Amino acid sequence: MTQAYTTDTGHGSSGSERTGSRARRLFRGWHGPGIWRRGIFLAAFTLLVTGVLAFHSEVPNTVGNLGSLLETFLPWLGLFVPLLLVAALLRRSATALVALAALAAVWLNMFGGLVGGKSDAKGDLTVATHNVNAENADPQGTAANVVDSGADVVALEELTGEALPTYRKALGGTYKYHSVQGTVGVWSKYPLNDVRPVDIKLGWTRALRGTVQTPKGDVAVYVAHLPSVRVKFNAGFTAGQRDGSAAALGNAIAGESLDKVVLLGDLNGTMNDRSLAPVTSQMRSTQGASGDGFGFSWPAGFPMARIDQIMVRGVEPVSSWSMPATGSDHLPLAASVEL
C-alpha cells in the first residue's frame, strides 16, 4: 500500500520569499534623513583616525616620543577600515560611510603602493641585510639562509666574537671579499676597498662604509646598526640615543663623494619615523619596489614593523623581498637594484 505525502505551503513561505524578507530587513532604514543623522559619533571617531593618519607628523614627541611610536606602526591604522565599515553598516549610517571613505582614501594614498604584486625582476646588483642576533644559536644555518638569497653584497649586524668565525667560514666560499668593523660586517662577491668605521656617536663601532667595485662602477655601501628603542612604563617610547646616532649617520652619508650609495642595516625605525629624517630625507627605500608589500622584518615570529632597511641613492630599486626566518628575532631582507 502506497501512502501519498503532500506538502502544505499555504501557511509557510518559499525560499525566495524568505530571502527577500532577509534582504528587506538588511536594507530597512537605509532611506530618509535618518541615515545622515545616525552614527555622528562613529563618523567623528573615523575622522579622528583619518586626521592622525594624515597628520601623524604633528603628533608631538615631547611625551614619551609618542609621535615616533605611532609612526613605527602607522600602516596598522588601516585595520580600522574593516572594523569601522562593519560598525557603519550595523548603524546604517551614511555619514559614517562617507567618513570611512575618507579614511580609506588617505590610507591608500600613503600605503597603497606597497600592496602590489610580487616581482622577480633582477637588477645589476642584489644586496641583503640581516641582524643575526647576538644570541643566535644557529649561525651556520643563518649564514646558509643568507647565501641562498643570491645577494652580491651582504651586510650582517650584531656580530659577536664567538659567532664571527662561523660566519666567516660559511660565507667565505661565496663571498671572496669581506670586512668586519666592530659588530657589523659586509661580505661581497666584488672587490671591496676603502672600508672604514663610521662614527655614530656610541663610543664603539656599529657602522661602516666601504666601496664595492661592481662591473658597472663603484658603489658606496654603508652598514649600520642604530641603537635599540625601548618602551618604558614611566618614560614611554625612549629613543634619544637612536635619534642621535641617526643624525650622525645622516651626516656621514651627506658627505659621501660617490653618486651611487646603498645603506643596509637595522635602523630600529621605519621610513615614517620622523627621527630618522636625517637619513630618510636623502635616501629612497626599496620597500615595496615591486616586491613583497610592507616587508615587515621584526619580530620574526609575527612581523609588525620594518625596522631593518635597505635604502639607496643614485640607483633604481627593481625588486625587494623578505627571506625566511633564521635563528634571529629579525627577518633577513634583500633587494635588487639597477646601477
Q: Which residues contact 149 (CB under 8 A, 6 or more apart)?
A: 126, 128, 323, 332, 334
pLDDT value of residue 1: 47
Q: Which domain holds residue 170?
A: 125-338
Residue 5 lies in a domain: no
Q: Does residue 161 sit in the same domain as residue 47?
A: no
Q: Does residue 189 sit in the same domain as residue 79?
A: no
pLDDT value of residue 6: 46
Our CA dihedral for 69, 73, 74, 75, rounded to 10 degrees, sits at 180
How far is residue 105's CA from residue 112's CA, in Å, rounded to a whole number?
9
Helix (H, G, I), strand (E, B) or coil at 179: strand
pLDDT value of residue 235: 44
Strand 207-214 to strand 230-232: parallel, antiparallel, or no bridges (unpaired)? unpaired
Q: Does residue 78 sit in the same domain as residue 223?
A: no
Residue 236 lies in a domain: yes
Residue 310 lies in a domain: yes
Residue 107 lies in a domain: yes
Residue 7 lies in a domain: no
Q: Does residue 176 sit in the same domain as residue 300?
A: yes
pLDDT value of residue 112: 87
Residue 9 lies in a domain: no
Q: Does residue 110 sit in the same domain as residue 129?
A: no
Query: Grid coordinates in use for 109?
Result: 594614498
Q: Does residue 72 sit in the same domain as residue 41?
A: yes
Residue 120 lies in a domain: no
Q: Does residue 60 sit in the same domain as residue 94?
A: yes
Q: Which residue, 56, 80, 114, sits at the end of a domain?
A: 114
pLDDT value of residue 292: 65
Q: Does residue 22 sit in the same domain as residue 141?
A: no
Query: Could you tell me the CATH number of the domain that includes residue 167?
Result: 3.60.10.10
Q: Give the count of domains, the chain.
A: 2
Q: Does residue 248 sit in the same domain as residue 205?
A: yes
pLDDT value of residue 290: 61
Q: Does residue 214 sit in the same domain as residue 86?
A: no
Phi, psi at residue 30, to the nearest 5°?
-90, 50
- Per residue of the chain (339 residues), what is the pLDDT tens digit? 445 444 444 455 565 666 556 545 545 556 666 788 889 999 999 999 999 999 999 998 777 778 888 998 999 999 999 999 999 999 999 999 999 999 999 999 999 888 765 566 789 999 999 999 999 999 999 999 999 999 999 999 999 999 999 999 999 999 999 999 999 999 999 999 999 999 999 999 999 999 999 999 999 999 999 998 765 545 444 566 888 999 999 999 999 999 999 999 999 999 999 989 999 999 999 987 765 678 899 999 999 999 999 999 999 999 999 999 999 999 999 999 999
pLDDT value of residue 200: 96
Residue 179 lies in a domain: yes
Our CA dihedral for 162, 166, 167, 171, rounded to 10 degrees, sits at 170
